[in-house]
Amino acid sequence: MFCYSVKTLNDLSPVQTTTLSDEVANRLRNAIRTGEFPLGSRLVERDLAERLGVSRIPVREAIQQLVEEGLVEKTPHRGTFVHSPTRSEIEEISSLRVLLECFVIERVIARWRSEHEMRLRQIVGTMRRAAGENEMQRLFEQDYLFHNALWEIADHLLLLEVVSGLRARINRFLGEATALLPESERQSHIDSHDKLVDIIKTGDVEIAKTEITNHVLGAKRRILTYCDFPDSPLL
């Protein structure tokens, strides 16, 4: 049996909420999402470490995080590359998202409170202002915040990890597709968020699950319509 003195505990440094490798991973993740690192581009540890002003160790750890998320792939004897998903992969991700988001909606309805509506409506309001000011990046970021809010309301840590990871795999395409939407479709897309909140408020789980399914499949259609996938045949 081991005994630890108070002095030993006092000597411990405070727990860090993020590590250097986490910060590097966030920087690389954002660079992939915004297109600074195009799909299929090679990531070289040494070059990234120099650009970010860090050693190669946190870069290596960050890249491994992105590999596990499906954003980056390592090819033996060739190197590390930004993953370029096929149309088939987009279909697979979307079908899995439907299942998980329906589970999210079930839990959201079971935990729904008035302050949740206020939070979601504020996000949709910001989406409308961003669209009106033609700030497509801000619109996309608020879209993500809306869904992240639903995941948090669902209050299921493993579910949050999995569903957000799936969304991360297609974030780049969602951003591009949103920016290319005609204005009328863009407004309909924003309106769909308000509609989802309206349905959640009624407490009707089945109708809410149908609406979130339509929402996810709508995202898939936007991606397949407005984004190019030269590495695979059309469906």
Q: What is the pLDDT of residue 230?
A: 53
User: Going from the N-terminus, what domains does the chain have, and what CATH number goes with each?
Assistant: 18-82 (1.10.10.10), 87-226 (1.20.120.530)
* Cβ atoms of 122 and 184 closer than 8 Å: no
Q: What is the pLDDT of residue 169?
A: 85
38: helix, coil or strand?
Answer: coil
Q: In what order do the strands lie in the sheet with 79-82?
A: 42-43, 79-82, 72-75
Q: What is the pLDDT of residue 145?
A: 95
- The residue among 221, 211, 176, 178 whose CA lies nearest residue 98 is 211
Distance CA 203, CA 198 (A): 9
Question: 180-196: per-residue pLDDT in tens?
Answer: 899 999 999 999 999 99
Q: What is the pLDDT of residue 1?
A: 40
Q: What is the pLDDT of residue 45?
A: 93
- pLDDT means over runs of 10, the chain (235 residues): 39 56 90 83 94 94 90 90 90 96 98 97 98 93 95 96 89 86 93 98 98 96 83 41
DSSP-derived letter for residue 13 is P
